[in-house]
Structure 1
Amino acid sequence: MQPTPVVIGSDMLVSEANELLTERNLHGLPVVDGGKLRGLITRANCLRAAHFVARTQSPDEFEYFHNRLKVSDLMVRNPATVNATDTMESVLAKGQSLGVGQFPVMDGDIVVGMISANEVFALAAHFLGAWERRSGVTLAAQQLVPGLFARIVEAVESAGGHLRAIYPIGSSDPDADGHRPERRVVVRFHADRVPDVIAALEGAGFSIVESVDAGNGAHQQHSQVQPHHVTQGAH
């Protein structure tokens, strides 16, 4: 998150808030009155208002926007928030379910930060090695049973690979009967011979959906066959 965020009062002019958003390259500003979060004004809110004024080409609208329109007239009241102790996964899920791109981060009643979808996605990309020259594979969807990750590590290292990350993707929420869904698993590693790692994983019973070979820049889609389900106790 962005700690010690810039906060503004509801009496600030929208034109001033827009300048602050632009100068600081921010996506949103928490609106705080009397130490309490009252709203959130976003760059998108300000841009829509400015575009409306530009389209009307009315001197009166222009004067109102720049000299009279206040943040309280435009802000999102009682915005959705997240807690400083929430996980990044829960923040991303909340953003997706609500269609919200940024949240004030709260510690009790105090705004302690701002977090945007861009920051969450950037962190996820970092975990997945998107900014590094890592090879990797995506395993077909399967139940995350005990011993699964150990089997993956064993297969990768048996083929001379050096594991860097294992990351399940997809929802982990159980259904109405309490059953958790199958999830694909992204595996990132360094290896001199990626085909050897793929062969070792397939030999261990895993189905490969796609692979990336950082050594030659190759990205390959694999035929999706029914995955082998690793049984419990395989540590």
Structure 2
Amino acid sequence: MLVKNWMSKDVITVDIDDSMKTAIKLMEDYNIRRIPVLKKDRLKGIVSYLDINRESASQANALAVSELNYLIEKIKVKDIMSANPKTISPHDTVEEAAVVMLEQKIGSLPVIDSNGKLIGIITESDIFKVLISMTGIKQGGIQFAFNLPDKSGSIKEVADVFRSYGGSMLSIMTSYEHAEKGYRQVYIRMKNIEREELNKLINELKRFDLLYIVDNQERTRKIFYEF
């Protein structure tokens, strides 16, 4: 899943010589928390809501309200922005973007093309959209979670059981994060499972170390194993 397919393309920007007041108004008008800073169409930095709050707080104790408002008009974006921000290519994957954002503790990455031009921005919200899409949760269905041996064929055995009940697979995801050594946790979302067959299916799946099921259509869940 490439960044270019999930990034926000209509990027709100400010010029490096714009005032802090301009940045504040743009954030309020567009309900955003970060704005790329440009100089002659080239990315020079990012100004965030945190940068603005930090600068405002540093001045608030020493100045009257009227003086503070005047100062906000005079302070330039370039004086408070984070310079030389981390960026990403449109051809990098969303997973790579997420790793950079997590490791750097930042909420967005400007997307720069091969000519050095800003063509988009990918944010935490975009990452959430990817997760929602990958899981298929908006299509309803039932998510089944398993603790399976980390070996070839273990997922196929489970899939064969689902197939025998005529269900359609919406998504399949795996994680090693909370699994014991030699195992992986597998999350399968199914739809078109006949309701009258569900309990029978669940009983058959328990031999595969079924952890839980979440039925988004009926808004019910059953936990078989706490982990």
- Coarse TM-score class (shorter-chain normalised): 0.7 to 0.9
1:126 is aligned to 133
Matched, 1:161 2:167: yes
Taking the aligned partners of 2:189 and 2:93, their CA distance within structure 1 comes to 22
CA distance in 1, matches of 2:186, 2:212: 11
> What TM-score, normalized by structure 1, do the two folds share?
0.79
- Name the CA distance, whole Å, in 2 between partners of 1:54 and 1:141: 57
Q: 1:224 to 1:63 in 2, by over 3 A?
A: closer
Residue correspondences, number = 213
Is 1:68 the counterpart of 2:64 in the alignment? no
Structure 2 SS opposite 1:125: helix
Q: Which of the pair is proportionally richer in helix?
A: 2
C-alpha RMSD over aligned residues: 2.6
Q: Helix, strand or coil for the counterpart of 1:122?
A: helix
Matched-pair contact (CA < 8 Å) for 1:194–1:213: no
Ranges in structure 2 where 5+ consecutive residues have no aligned partner: 1-6
Residue identity matched to 1:112: I
- Alignment-mate amino acid for residue 69 of structure 2: F
Measure, in 2, the Cα distance between the counterparts of 1:200 and 1:161.
Answer: 14
Contact (CA 8 Å) 2:137, 2:216: kept in 1 or not?
A: no
Give 1:139's match in structure 2, choosing from 143, 146, 162: 146
Q: Give yes or no for the alignment of 1:196 onto 2:200.
A: yes
TM-score, normalised to structure 2's length? 0.81
Aligned to 1:230: none
Structure 1 residues 20, 198: closer, same or farther in 2, change over 3 A?
A: same
Instruction: Tell me if the contact between 1:140 and 1:209 (Cα under 8 Å) persists in the aligned partners.
Output: yes
Give, in angstroms, the shift of residue 63 of structure 1. Answer: 1.4
Mark the CA change 1:215 to 1:77 in structure 2 (over 3 Å): closer, same or farther. Answer: closer
Answer yes or no: is the 8 Å Cα contact 2:168–2:190 preserved in 1.
yes
Q: Structure 1: where are the runs of 5+ without partners?
A: 172-179, 226-235
Deviations 1:120-155 (A, max 9, x none): 012202221333322111112642x44444333222
